[in-house]
Structure formats: C-alpha cells, structure tokens
C-alpha cells in the first residue's frame, strides 16, 4: 500500500517559542489519538528545525522536513542551506518546487532538478510540488501544464531515484485562498499525474507513488479529498499552524 502522508508547511510563520508549543501539542495529540499508520511531516522554518526534531524524537509517526534546500552542494552561497546541512540535523523530507519558490524566487525546472538530486544523495525524501495558476485552469489546459512541469524537472531521474519521491499537486489558485479544489478536481489531476508516471516508469512504480493534495485543505474538506483513490494525503499550509486543525486533518483518512 502507498504511504499516506500529511505534511505541514509552516512557511515563514511562528517564533521559536510558538513553534515549540505547536510541535508539543501536535506530538501529544498524534501519540494519543492516531491509531492508523499515517506519516506526519513537520516543515518549520530552518532555525526551528533542531528544536522541533528534539520534540518529535520518540514519536514513531512524526518526521522532520524542510521547506526548501539549495541547488548547490556547498560553498560560498550566503544565506543558502544545503541538503547536507538539513540531513545533518535529522531532516527526513524536503519540500522542493513550492509555487511560492517558483514564483517569488524564480526557481527554474533546472534548479529544481538539481535540488532533487542533492536531496536524494543526502537520503532526504523530496516532496516535489506542481500545480497550475488560475488562468491555466480556466483555459482548461491544466493537465498539460502540470505534466510538463513534471516531465521537465523529473523525467531525467532513473526509476530507482523516482520511486523515492513524494509528489504534491497544489493548484496555485487554491493555496492560501480558502478556495479548495473539489475532491473530483483533485482526483482527476492526481490520476493524470499517476498515468503520466506510469507511461514513463511503468504501472508498478506509478502505483507506489504517494501524491499529496495541497491548497486550502482543512478539517472540513480533508475527509472528502482523502477519500479519493489517488489522493494519498495532504500538504497543509494555514491549517498546519493550529494543532487541533492539523491533527484533525491527519485523522481524516
Ligand atoms: C501550501 O502552501 O502548501 C498550502 C497548501 O497552503 P494552504 O493550505 O494555506 O492553502
């Protein structure tokens, strides 16, 4: 069975103290309330990662992730954080290609490919994001747009490498807007993404890929979204900043 994953992306929010409080609450609730095998990933800002790691150590379901990594291995790149550094303090996952990184920091497909390579070589699991802007959705060309993003950034990887990735479909018009994709829209795109990987890497590899949905996922719509056969979990922004909401989403399978 595919891994079911719920990952919280805190973005540039929360002081260290607030982040520690949130992590403790999430950890306690997950340990007390979660009976199913769901992988939970917390992706705090870089400076909080070590403190978060200490608090989640001992929980079998919860893992540490980063929101980004450099496309360079090491060296004179002031302000950047490498995949090697992330791995050295216990990260297991790293979000790569979030639409905010693509849009505000002009990240290109070539850079994203480099980031995925470095993440994999440091034994980090990339959570690779894709998704279309509103005008593409309205033009009806969203499937071609998203599959092209994936082809350009990822189709150079071997099957052995590709099976170590997690994908996240995040329609840009749904991120932080309160306007979520319907569960049918999510299912349609997740199935298209899986078919796209099946055509390149075979059915068996595609069937094993976890594909998360992201975009205004909340406790009141998570159950509907997660009930779809090709939706294997969620990448959660705003609702991951509230422990009760985040854990309710985790429990929505
Ligand atoms: C995100 O940024 O990955 C995200 C899904 O945000 P939100 O849940 O706030 O829409």
pLDDT tens-place string over residues 20-57: 999 999 999 999 999 889 999 999 999 999 999 999 99
pLDDT at residue 205, as a whole number: 98
- What is the enclosing helix (H) or strand (E) of 196? helix 183-201
Q: Is 186 in the pocket of ligand 1 (CB under 6 A)?
A: no
Average pLDDT score over the chain: 97
pLDDT at residue 26, as a whole number: 98
Give first-to-last CA distance, the chain, whole Å: 14
pLDDT at residue 110, as a whole number: 97
Q: Probe ligand 1: pick from 237, 239, 240, 246, max atoms within 8 Å of CB?
A: 237
Q: Residues 6 or more apart from 243 whose CB is under 8 A from it?
A: 22, 25, 26, 29
Place of tokens 């995925």: 116
- Whole-prediction pTM: 0.97
Q: For the segment 115-146, what is each residue's pLDDT rounded down to a tens digit?
A: 999 999 999 999 999 999 999 999 999 999 99
Q: Is 172 in the pocket of ligand 1 (CB under 6 A)?
A: no
Q: For the segment 198-218, what is each residue's pLDDT rounded down to a tens digit?
A: 999 999 999 999 999 999 999
Give the span between the Cα atoms of 248 and 222, in whole angstroms: 9
pLDDT at residue 178, as a whole number: 84
Give residue 75's domain range: 5-250
Q: Is 238 in the pocket of ligand 1 (CB under 6 A)?
A: yes
CATH number of 57's domain: 3.20.20.70
Q: Are 53 and 64 in contact (CB under 8 A)?
A: yes
Structurally, the chain folds into a number of domains equal to 1
Q: How confident is the model at residue 188 (pLDDT cuts 50, 70, 90)?
A: very high
Which parts of 138-221 are beta strand (E)?
Answer: 166-169, 211-214
| Overall average pLDDT of the 74-100 stretch | 97
Q: For 130, what's the count of Cα atoms within 13 Å in the CB-facing half-sphere?
A: 26
Centre of ligand 1 from the C-alpha of residue 178, in Å: 9
Centre of ligand 1 from the C-alpha of residue 171, in Å: 10
For residue 100, give the ligand 1 atom closest to its CA: 2
Q: How confident is the model at residue 72 (pLDDT cuts 50, 70, 90)?
A: very high
Give the torsion through C-alpha atoms of 237, 77, 167, 53, to 10 deg. -60
- At residue 179, does pLDDT exceed 90? no
Q: Residues 6 or more apart from 176 whose CB is under 8 A from it?
A: 216, 237, 238
Helix, strand or coil for residue 123?
A: coil
Q: Is 8 in the pocket of ligand 1 (CB under 6 A)?
A: no
* Active centre residues (catalytic): 98, 170
């Amino acid at each position: 069975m595919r891994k079911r994953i719920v990952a919280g992306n805190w973005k540039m929010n929360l002081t260290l103290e607030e982040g520690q409080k949130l992590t403790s609450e999430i950890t306690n609730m997950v340990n007390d309330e979660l009976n199913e095998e769901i992988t939970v990933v917390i992706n705090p800002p870089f400076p909080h990662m070590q403190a978060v790691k200490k608090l989640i150590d001992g929980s079998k379901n919860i893992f540490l992730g980063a929101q980004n990594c450099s496309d360079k291995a090491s060296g004179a790149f002031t302000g950047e954080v490498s995949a090697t550094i992330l791995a050295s303090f216990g990260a297991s996952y790293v979000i790569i290609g979030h639409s905010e990184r693509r849009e505000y920091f002009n990240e290109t497909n070539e850079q994203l490919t480099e980031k995925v390579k470095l993440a994999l070589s440091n034994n980090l699991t990339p959570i690779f994001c894709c998704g279309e802007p509103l005008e593409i959705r309205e033009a009806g060309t969203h499937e071609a747009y998203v599959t092209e993003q994936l082809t350009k950034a990822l189709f150079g990887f071997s099957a052995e490498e590709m099976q170590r990735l997690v994908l996240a479909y995040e329609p840009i018009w749904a991120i932080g807007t309160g306007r979520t994709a319907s569960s049918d829209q999510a299912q349609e795109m997740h199935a298209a993404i899986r078919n796209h990987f099946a055509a390149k890497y075979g059915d068996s590899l595609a069937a094993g890929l976890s594909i998360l949905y992201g975009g205004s996922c909340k406790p009141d719509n998570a159950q509907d979204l997660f009930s779809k056969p090709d939706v294997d979990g969620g990448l959660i922004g705003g609702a991951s900043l509230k422990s009760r909401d985040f854990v309710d989403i985790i429990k929505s399978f």
